[in-house]
Structure 1
Amino acid sequence: MPETSLFQSFFLIFTGAAIVASLALWGRQPLLVAYIALGVLLGPSALGVIDNVELMAEMSNIGIIFLLFLLGLDMQPKALIAVLRKATFVGLISCGIFLGLGYVIGKLFSFTDTESWVIGMAMMFSSTIIGIKLLPTTVLHHKHLGELMVGLLLFQDFVAITCLMILLSGSTGSVDFTRLGISFAALPLLIALAWGAVRYLLQPLLAKFDRFHEYVFLLAIGWCMGLAELAELMGLSREIGAFIAGITLATSPISQYIALSLKPLRDFFLILFFFSLGAQFHLEMVPEIAFPALVAAIAVLIIKPVVFRYLLGQQSERTILAWDIGFRLGQISEFSLLIAYLAMSQQLIGSAASHLIQATAILTFLVSSYIVVLNFPNPIAIKDHLRRD
């Protein structure tokens, strides 16, 4: 069978996505479910009509970059500092609980100590894409719920960077604390560089040429991807770099115009992300990891909302808000998939542990999406009284 060209892959993905999205809406199902199901169907494990899945997955990561850039554009720096202060306590305690939960599940199914700790790492994080994608724009921009969720997700991003650095040094048998220290020392330096570049370069350029919309669009993309790549070179992550790029530009008078311009581009790549998530899953591993993945997914879906509800309640948050955030964060993360990939590439875990994490991610993505779409205000609700743009 001849290799599928890039154009043919795009044709199959987006034409297929349009068809399954129509069926999903007709059947009152969340669109995210349709994209993942399409990936499984067209990927190597089923029909196998798309063979360049790795390229699609790499391209889809750009969607996460744009998502965090747009988040930054919607937050003022002072508000971010305040919400991170409040999120730190909840973030620290919840990460510790979920790390222990994953370790216990790993040992329960006879994985090694190292594999169990990696499974625990994967359990710590909640999905930025699901959490933010299903949050109404008005809530994200102006409401305490949106600020608190972004604070918790950002705190988890910092913890995820630490975990990734530990895994990168894991093949040597010890944690490279020097490398970790350099990475976190680089964060204030990156913020200072970004702030200086925006104040003395980008804002003057935008003020002078803001009537040229194509130029503003180009400058925004270049700034986002440039700072994301710089963050990667400094030992942080592209996601953190993109968020810093956005928040340093948030004070610009045309930040909201930039945000509106980039949203269609973000959605294009996010469709690729969910498609590639389904396409990369190997169906032949299902008999081996089905029961452990089901147990792990049920544990995450039940325990995560309860933990967040209790911890936020201890912070004097209202009960209804605490449950809302708990269910919106009641899944594992795209970072969990990266942890599984990196740990396997470093030969710290085997194929079964890696696919356990992947299957748990897919199951929790699907069920969590259903829970939020059917019960809480969101932009793609199938019930009219819950739909909020």
Structure 2
Amino acid sequence: MADSSLFQSFFLIFSGAAVVASLALFGRQPLLVAYIALGVLLGPSGFAVIDNLRLLSDMSSVGIIFLLFLLGLDMQPQALVAVLRKATFVGLVSCTIFLGLGFGIGKLFSFTTTESWVIGMALMFSSTIIGIKLLPTTVLHHKHLGELMVGLLLFQDFVAIVCLMVLLSDNTGDMQIWQLALSFGSLPLLIVFAWLIVKYILLPLFNRFDRFHEYVFLLALGWCMGMAELAEIVGLSREIGAFIGGITLATSRISQYIALSLKPLRDFFLILFFFSLGAQFKLAMLPEILLPALVTATAVLLVKPVVFHYLLGARSEHKILSWDIGFRLGQISEFSLLIALLAYAQNLIGSAASHLIQATAILTFLVSSYIVVMNFPNPIATKDELRRD
């Protein structure tokens, strides 16, 4: 791709993203859905204005690395243990139920066993963007509802990391047990190495030169990318390496400054990620996966709120609170999209299964956000009595 065409691609993506993001905000829609729609519109299945997606796809994967690095930075160990203790039972049981639901739907529509398990994996998770961004700030930080939401989403994040390790344990299309064991065996070694480097090298450097903001930014960026590459070398994934890099820095007094510094860079690459996801979506596949996608999305939207309601009720949570959380988590996740892309890249699933997960994600994002905006307190509610900042 020549320099001029790369510039033109960036112009079309980010100028177009600014326009569709404005329309999405007016229409009370999640921004990531707007970015995916723009990708479909400008990609090969639409007007084919941007038809060389390889470079943009490679660049967009950096956004996922930053996303997991920042996720690790936000996981303070003490608070993490406390909040996960409350959410572990609900998280374990709900993930098992949703895994079985996805597997059953996959087999119903004649997908292979492996594809059905991957579909089940994709259904286990709920969207952090919809779950947290549509939660009023005062509730998120000071109310029991916020604690439970964060705990459940963090538990799902850990499960997602395990799923990524399973998917990346082999690239031949067969999940070999010995190779998966080797990947898990290298994980503690990588964690110990990262902890030693942070304690004896990075933290002294941060403490000595923390006045130089550019240096802090570069050192954090180098650490994130270095851990991502090291994890790739030892047989894990770049995403897992970035997560470990972030969580080993989480106790540092400068971790929140690093997180704030990297968020704009993360958002830049995530826009590319969701755009390339939409651009790679083949509209020609729609007739083949439309019925399975509608069935899967309907099952998610109906089953998830009910499951969370009864599981939280079993933990002595109030009825209104349990329904509130159930509907706020009643969709699949950004991690589901990542799982679909990685599984397809590893030849574990075919194009139809990958597109089924992508279509289900888009449908559940749309419907779930409408349900929350119209019925529960949130920052962008159309009703005055529901609007909470």
Question: Which category of TM-score, normalised to the shorter sequence, fits these structures?
Answer: 0.7 to 0.9
Q: Which residue of 2 aligns with 1:91?
A: 91
Q: Are the equivalent residues in 2 in contact too, given 1:75–1:141 (CA < 8 A)?
A: no
Q: Which residue of 2 aligns with 1:23?
A: 23
Q: Are the equivalent residues in 2 in contact too, given 1:308–1:326 (CA < 8 A)?
A: yes
Query: Quick one: structure 1 residues 118 and 209, their matched pair in 2 at CA, closer, same or farther if it must change by over 3 Å?
Result: closer
Distance in 2 separating the partners of 1:66 and 1:137: 24
Query: Quick one: structure 1 residues 310 and 109, their matched pair in 2 at CA, closer, same or farther if it must change by over 3 Å?
Result: same
Query: Quick one: structure 1 residues 176 and 355, their matched pair in 2 at CA, closer, same or farther if it must change by over 3 Å?
Result: same
* 1:153-210 alpha-carbon deviations (Å, 9 max, x no partner): 22322341354156x36634xx422222222233322222222211111111111111
Distance in 1 separating the partners of 2:240 and 2:375: 31
RMSD in angstroms over aligned alpha carbons?
Answer: 3.0
Distance in 1 separating the partners of 2:232 and 2:378: 32
In structure 1, runs of 5+ residues without a counterpart are none
Q: Which amino acid aligns with 1:213?
A: H
Query: Quick one: structure 1 residues 349 and 185, their matched pair in 2 at CA, closer, same or farther if it must change by over 3 Å?
Result: closer
Q: Secondary structure at the match of 2:267?
A: helix
Distance in 1 separating the partners of 2:184 and 2:253: 31
Distance in 2 separating the partners of 1:92 and 1:343: 23
Q: Which residue of 1 aligns with 2:327?
A: 327
User: Shift of the alpha carbon at 1:49?
Assistant: 0.5
Q: Which amino acid aligns with 1:30?
A: P
Q: Which residue of 1 aligns with 2:163?
A: 160
Q: Are the equivalent residues in 1 in contact too, given 2:69–2:244 (CA < 8 A)?
A: yes
Query: Quick one: structure 1 residues 349 and 22, their matched pair in 2 at CA, closer, same or farther if it must change by over 3 Å?
Result: closer
Q: Which amino acid aligns with 1:26?
A: F
Q: Which residue of 2 aligns with 1:171?
A: 173
Distance in 1 separating the partners of 2:243 and 2:39: 28
In structure 2, runs of 5+ residues without a counterpart are none
Q: Which amino acid aligns with 2:81?
A: I
- State the number of aligned residues: 385
Alignment of 1:307-322 (within 5 A): 307-322=307-322
Q: Are the equivalent residues in 1 in contact too, given 2:28–2:380 (CA < 8 A)?
A: no
2:357 matches 1:354? no
Q: Are the equivalent residues in 2 in contact too, given 1:169–1:176 (CA < 8 A)?
A: no
Q: Are the equivalent residues in 2 in contact too, given 1:53–1:276 (CA < 8 A)?
A: yes
Q: Which residue of 1 aligns with 2:103?
A: 103
Q: Which amino acid aligns with 1:277?
A: L
Distance in 1 separating the partners of 2:192 and 2:115: 38
Distance in 1 separating the partners of 2:272 and 2:379: 19
Distance in 2 separating the partners of 1:230 and 1:326: 39
Q: Are the equivalent residues in 1 in contact too, given 2:168–2:236 (CA < 8 A)?
A: no
Distance in 2 separating the partners of 1:51 and 1:271: 17
Distance in 2 separating the partners of 1:100 and 1:224: 35
2:263 matches 1:263? yes
Q: Which residue of 1 aligns with 2:371?
A: 371
Q: Which residue of 2 aligns with 1:70?
A: 70
Q: Which residue of 2 aligns with 1:44?
A: 44
Distance in 2 separating the partners of 1:67 and 1:272: 13
The percentage of counterpart residues that share the same residue type is 75
Q: Secondary structure at the match of 1:171?
A: coil
Give 1:151's match in structure 2, choosing from 148, 154, 158: 154
User: Shift of the alpha carbon at 1:236?
Assistant: 3.4
Q: Which amino acid aligns with 1:255?
A: S
Q: Secondary structure at the match of 1:5?
A: helix
Query: Quick one: structure 1 residues 122 and 4, their matched pair in 2 at CA, closer, same or farther if it must change by over 3 Å?
Result: farther
User: Shift of the alpha carbon at 1:46?
Assistant: 0.6
Distance in 1 separating the partners of 2:172 and 2:186: 21
Distance in 1 separating the partners of 2:225 and 2:385: 38
Q: Secondary structure at the match of 1:253?
A: coil
Q: Which amino acid aligns with 2:161?
A: F
Query: Quick one: structure 1 residues 270 and 346, their matched pair in 2 at CA, closer, same or farther if it must change by over 3 Å?
Result: closer
Range 273-282 or range 136-145, more displaced: 136-145
Q: Which residue of 1 aligns with 2:9?
A: 9
User: Shift of the alpha carbon at 1:75?
Assistant: 2.9
TM-score (norm 2): 0.86
Distance in 2 separating the partners of 1:138 and 1:68: 25
Q: Are the equivalent residues in 2 in contact too, given 1:74–1:141 (CA < 8 A)?
A: no
Distance in 2 separating the partners of 1:376 and 1:59: 37
* 1:292-314 alpha-carbon deviations (Å, 9 max, x no partner): 11111111122122212322333
Q: Are the equivalent residues in 2 in contact too, given 1:102–1:121 (CA < 8 A)?
A: yes
Query: Quick one: structure 1 residues 59 and 216, their matched pair in 2 at CA, closer, same or farther if it must change by over 3 Å?
Result: same
Q: Secondary structure at the match of 1:331?
A: coil
Query: Quick one: structure 1 residues 205 and 387, their matched pair in 2 at CA, closer, same or farther if it must change by over 3 Å?
Result: farther
Distance in 2 separating the partners of 1:27 and 1:287: 27
